[in-house]
Amino acid sequence: MLFYGYKYANVNGVDVIYSFTDEGVTGNAKRQILKNQKTMFIIVAACVASHLALCGTTLLLNMPEATDAVWRLYPYANGLATYTAPVVLVIFSSKVRCLFLPKNLFKSSSVESTTSDFAPQQAYRI
């Protein structure tokens, strides 16, 4: 099992904790693993927060004195809980973001002609 840069194992009936540096995972691999764990933590935290907002709204709907005031907020809380995960995943995934953007968005543009139809093509002598 991996968790925040550590591996938990059972060796000869004894629980042992190894860090990635103990096992030789260093450099780019360790940075990538920690970056992925940070990203997943942010995604899970955003999902938990949005679902807690929905939970609070739902609990308040069961209270008769708060039903009228909270009922107007329920669609927003429900939408937040529904769309938080996909939006956050799109924000953090460059592969998915590239599917939404046009392929030539980041290519440099070039000017094909510096002349216009209204300007004379040759210099005339008077």
Q: What is the pLDDT of residues 20-59, one digit of tens each?
A: 555 556 677 778 888 888 889 999 999 999 999 999 999 9
Kindly report the pTM of this predicted structure: 0.57
pLDDT for 77: 93
pLDDT for 29: 75
Tokens of 16: 């042992």
pLDDT for 111: 53
Residue 1 scores a pLDDT above 60: no
pLDDT for 46: 94
Give residue-wise pLDDT tens across range 72-115.
Answer: 889 999 999 999 999 998 888 888 888 877 766 655 555 555 55
pLDDT for 2: 47
